[in-house]
Every structure is written in structure tokens, then in C-alpha cells.
Structure 1
Amino acid sequence: MDSEKNKRVSSQRKLKHLQTAGTVYSNVSSGATAYGEEKFHAVRGHGFAAERANTLYDRYTGHDARILGDDNAKNGADRLVDGVEIQSKYCKTGGKCISECFENGQFRYIGSDGKPMQIEVPSDKYESAIQAMQERIRRGEVPGVSDPNEAQQIVRKGHFTYEQAKNIAKAGTVESLTYDAANGMIIASSAFGVTAVITFATSVWNGDTPEIALKNAAYSGLKVGGISFVTAIFAGQLSKAGLNSLLVGSSEAVVRVMGPKTSALLVNAFRQGKNIYGAAAMKSASKLLRGNIITGSASVVILSAGDVVNIFRGRISGKQLFKNVTNTASSVAGGTAGWVGGAAAGAAIGSAVPIIGTAVGGVIGGLAGAFGGGALAGKASSAVMDHFIEDDAEQMCHIIEQELLALTEEHLITQNELKTIVERLGSSLTAKTLKDMYASNDRQTFARKLLLPLFKAVEKERKPIHIPLAEKHGTCIRAIKQQITRT
């Protein structure tokens, strides 16, 4: 029984560690999103919000769309959609959107094919932007274009209005929440897939049947996916509310300790485009660190929400809440640190192996680091907290043991019967039952009511006892007297 119980506990712990790794994976994805969205706080932050919102919309509608503007190339494209280079201009008026595209009377956004890039403008400024571009073409300020009607081929109607773009960059607006929810869906689906795959593989390696492994994979994937979705929205709103600006000093202090080489190794494992080094890498690493702090904190709050509800319902103690939150925070922080270190190491190895590559090496290293770091930190935290705080569950189990011994004496339970009762109790005793017991006004009575059906069930399984007839009693007594007389 003990070996089966230990095996079940070990399996549950591994499953929890895998879920922590999946949660950290989604946190890092959300952190990378926050890293790109830090530009939303700039003077023209709504323009960067428009770039990402339009890209997100294009992806949801089946287009191959990605951001290019993060490389800060002079007169480069902001977006690439189905191979088309796009420069986003979200200004107050259509005329202003177009005038921003000219320098010294010449159109300055020329694509890699030598033709003018498409200029994306707010949907409500499209008509006036067309008119402004037509006038520029008439003046001969657009290279290779002489027909004003070609303005419609250059000016691209964005999916959002100017005001919507401004609201996306703010916290608490409908547009902002919708945008974060859309991002959350992408991150959650990815986290679901990654968690489900590694859980299924680990379950099979541990000797579980494919059916059990699939069940574990689905459970872990759904749990992590749901947490990832809510975390993405929560973290996105915190970032837009300006929490990242409060973390500038602490994040820069950490990066100074890391140094330029480690910062470059870390940042380049997550960036797209050309690698960066030196001061630029340190600045970028600081931004990346802030994003991960925000998402990590958000996930701890969400993961601990159930414990907070339970303490208000009186189902756990304040000490238990403190311990649970501490262990959760330690696991997430340890997993995040493991991911960062693993991703950097994996990227370094991947860069030296052409088949693997930096990106794939970073993901593999990150997952391994998240699993190991989260498990190690969680184990260490639990060991420390166990030294100071006795779990509510342990207290409840102690009460159950006392009532178990009392009922054993009352019901004259044999050793084999007690073994059966304990086995049945172990398979039916859940965390919910222990929480309900903690919330009970009389825990001893709760424990007795929990145990009595098990005792009654064992008693019903006893063989019936038939009382011997009176003459048989007499015969036995006479035989005993004769034996005593002989001795």
C-alpha cells in the first residue's frame, strides 16, 4: 500500500513540475510580448500598438504576418504581410500620415524590390490619406509613380481607427482588453500544446499506459492553457498601466551584475533579426527581465487565487495560505530562472550546430531549465516552509488517525480489517475533503462521520457467528471439568 501511495505521490509531483514548466513557458512568451509592447509608453506609442494590433488581426485571418520594425532599420518596413513590406503611420489626420513618409520632398520608404512600400493608415483616415498621396504623386515626389490613381496601391487601409489604436496602448479599455485576450489565445494554445506533449512523453517514460498518459496530457494542457490565457491578459494590463516603469531601477541593477556578454547571450536567444551586443544588449535584457517579472508575478497571483478563496471560506489557515503562495512563487521564479539560463545555454549550443539553430536550441534549453529549476526551487522552498509550518492537511490527518484508533477499539477491528479500512480511506480521502474538514466547526465529529461508513462496510463483510446450542455448552463444560480433575 505504501509503495503504491508513494508512486502516486511521486507521479503527482512530476505532473505538477511539468505544469510549472508549461506555465513558465507561457510566462516567457507573455514576457516577450511585454518586451515588444514597452514601446506603447513612448510619445507615439499608439503607432507601435497599431503595428502589433494589425499584425495580430492578419494572423487571425490566415495571413503570414510578422513585425519587422524592432530591428530599427532606417526607413525600413514595420510589418511584413504575405511578403508585402508595410510602413505603419497612425497620425491624427490622413495628410499627416502621408507627410511623415517624405523627407526633403522625396518619398523615403522604398521596398527591397525598388518600389514604394505600402503605407498603412488608420481606417478612418484612409480617404484623406489617399487624397494627400495623390497630390504628392502629382508633384513628382514618389519615385517611379506618375499616375495619381496608383495612390490606392500605395496607401493601405488599416484594420483599426486612430482612436482604437490609442486605446489599445492604454490599460482598462475595451480595445486593450480585447487585444490582450487575442494575444492570450495564441500564447495559451502554444502553452497547451507544449505542456501536453511533454506530459504525454514523461508519463509514457514513467511506465503509464497510453490512455493514462493521454489523460494526464489533456489535463495538464488544459490547466496550463487556462492559466496562460488569464495571465497574458492580467500581465498585459499591468504593463500598460505602467508597472514596468517602476521596475526599471531593479532590472537594470540585475543586468549590470550579469554583464554585457551574458546579456547578449540571453537577449539574442529571444530576439529576431541581427544579434546585438554591448550596451544595446544590456538595455534590451533589462526590458526582457521587466516583462518576465510582470508575467511571473501575474501567474503567481492567478495560481494562488484558489487559496485566497479558500481562506475567505475558512477552508485553509492563514499559515497554509502563506506557505502555498511562497511555494508557488518559488517554483515559478525558479522555473523562470531555469528557463532563462537554459535558453541562453541552449541558444549558445544551437548557434554552433546548424541543424538545431539558436531559436530551437533556446526553446529546448529553456524547457529543460524551467522543469529542473522549478522542481528544485519548489522542493527547496517546501523543505524550508515545512520546517516552520505544519500543513493544514497534516493536522486534519492527525485528527483522523485519533478517531481511527478510537473506532478500532469500539468496533473490535482486527488487523486485516484495519488494513482494508485504511486502504479504502486512502483512495477516497481528497484535498477537498480535508479542506471541508478544516472548515468544519467540529473536526472530530467530521472525522468520525467520514470513517464510520468504512467501519460499517467492513463489519458487514464479517462471517456470521452462530451461537452453539445449550447441550453443546454443557458437554464442553463437563469435558473441561474432567480435564481439571485429572490434573
Structure 2
Amino acid sequence: MESKYNTSKSVNVYCPIAEHTVEVCLQYITNSERLLLEVPFEQYEAIVEAIRQRENGAKNLTQMIRKGAFTYAQIKHMTVARNIHGLMMDEEGRINFINDAISISAVIAYAQSKWNGASRKVAIGNGIRTGLAVLGETFAEEVIASQLYNHHDVTADFNLNPDIAGALKTGGVKMASKKMAATITKKAMIGSIATKKGMMLLNANTVTGALVTGRMSAEDIARTVKGKMSSQQLFKNVAKTAAIVAGGITGTIIGSAVGLTIPNVSTAIVSLIGGIIGLIIGSSSASKITKRVLDFFIRDDALQMLDIFNERLMILAEEYLLNKEELEQALLDFEALHNMSKTLKEMYLANNQQQFADNLIHRELTRIIKLRMYLHVPTNEEIYEILEPLAS
């Protein structure tokens, strides 16, 4: 068996903005022509266009760029939570995985499946399918080549079918791994095909959304948020404040009636004195009177703040890849820990209301995802054990 093998490789390139990702991609492209570069989902089109312009439209270079299944923000949140072994971020914000050969998309798909209750084997399978959707045959080829190369007696250690065993004997690891990878990719993805003209892999984001147990759609998130964080629920609490103010108004009316009994005083003075007496009746001190009036939060203001808050929560819940249970827990915690009626009043007074909402939501959702179990990513051997039967 050859001492070295020349198979396709993949590298994860996840930087905060597309311009930085492009620069890193170009460095890899300059040094090697056998790489596939996985980039953030939302940056893909901008990266391909930038490379096409800088390389005078060279299509062969842009074909090396592969769209990841997740956005940079989604993977950043997973990294900051520190519950996936080997997932790290440097000072410049680039996200790296300790085993760069494994697709970050596959790692996150595996983790999401585990956090949502899947067995380790099922979760690994979901990660594999996501890796295949992102990188195609290269994902399987890297795993297979590593396994075959690291065994002295491959035919004895692995249950290879005759066709692949023959390829190994005549062409070595390179040919055998390519042949196995092609077969595996076709079989693994055949259930995800939606084409009339031949085999086409669905894009990675679609595949991941279908395979990862418990991942919520945007519609699911919107339905849950609006159902739990509704104006009806909010005003159960706001009504208490309204009742206090209403009591003060009632006191004013009563006080006005008292004022009318004072002789030799003009009507205007009577009304003023009556109003003051009424407010005193409705409260034990002047400071409380002022606070009740200033704190009064009218319904229209509350609805406006709630709309902004809910809109940002729906967007950020997708960024944090929350499942239904996590989102519902977050909604309960917002009310229990933050007193939303009071929080929305503070938000109303903020200079940047959206930023106010974002800061609160980020803190709460980061706390929620840090509660997830700590995971060790599947080993090359575990991945191969699931891949191998697909090659027969």
C-alpha cells in the first residue's frame, strides 16, 4: 500500500464578514487545487462573486467554494456557548474546528440532533447526510481514506465488497476511497432527491432542516412567540398599573366634590384644590403620585414595543437554533426574570429600542443554550462505521 495518498480535502472557512472569508479562501486556492472550502450559508453568493471578479471569471476556482448549512452567526453562538468539544474562535472572529477535515456543518447538525433527543447513532447519521450535502463525495472520501490508510491489512479489517477490494488492490487507497465515496453519496442522498432529469443533491440548508430532529422553522418560531408573548398576556400585568392610575383619577373626582364645598373661592381654584385633594386620597405621598403618573404605560406604546421585541426574538431564536422546548423556556424566563411589562417601559425610553431588545434577548438565549449537554464530536471511526454499509 502506498505511503501517501492524494485525495480531495476540505477546509472550513468561517469569518465574520464575507470580505475576510474571501481573503482566506484565496490563500488556500493559491496553495492547492484539491481543496473544497466550506463557507457560511449567507456569505456564499458574495464570496463566489468576489472570487470570480478577482480571478477573471475562472469558474474552476469558484467551484471549490461550497455553501455551508448554517450561517456564521448560528455557528458563532454555538462556539461561544462552549458545549461542543473542539469548536473554537480566534481573536479575529474566525471559527475553527480542532479536526478541520470534518465539516463544521456536519458537526452542528450532529450536535443539534443530540440536543433534540436523537441517539448518538442517529445524530451521527444526520451529521453525515449534512456533510454529504455540503461537500458531496469529498466528505466521505476523507473519512474513508483516513481509515483505509491507517490499517495494515485493510481486506481483513474491513468488510469491503469485491469491487472496492479490487480497486484497493489495483489503485490503492486513492482509487478505493473515491469509489466507495461515490457509492455512499448516491445511496445516502437518494431519499432526498427531488428531480425528474437525474440525481441532484438538495442544498445543504434544506437537507439539514429536514434531517435535524426538532429544528424549528421560521413559521414555528413565529407561532410560538406570538402565542406566548402576546398583548393579551402582557396586559394582564399592565392592567395592574392601569388600575392604580384609574384609582387616582377616581380620587380626583371625589376630591373635586370636596372642593366644591369651600366658600368664596373661584371655580378654577376649586377644581385645582379638588384635584390635589383627590390625588392625595389615591396615594400616601406626593412622590408616589408623581411616579404613578410618569410610569403609566399606554396601550399603544406597549404594543409597539412588543412588536419590536417579538420580531427580534423570532430572528434571534433562529440564529440560536432553539428547539421548541428551549424557546418556550426562554419565553417563560423573560416574564419570570425580567417582568416584561416593566422591561417594555424601559425599552420605550431607550435611545435605540431595537438594540435594547437585542441585548436582552442575546443574554437570555446565550444562557439557555449554555445549559445544553457538552458534546464530543464523533470520531473518524464512528463515522466510517455508518458509511461502510452504504458502500456494499
Report the TM-score when normalising by structure 1: 0.27
Report the TM-score when normalising by structure 2: 0.33
Greater radius of gyration (CA) = 1
Higher relative contact order (CA 8 A, sep 6+): 2
Task: Name the structure where helix makes up a greater proportion of residues.
Answer: 1
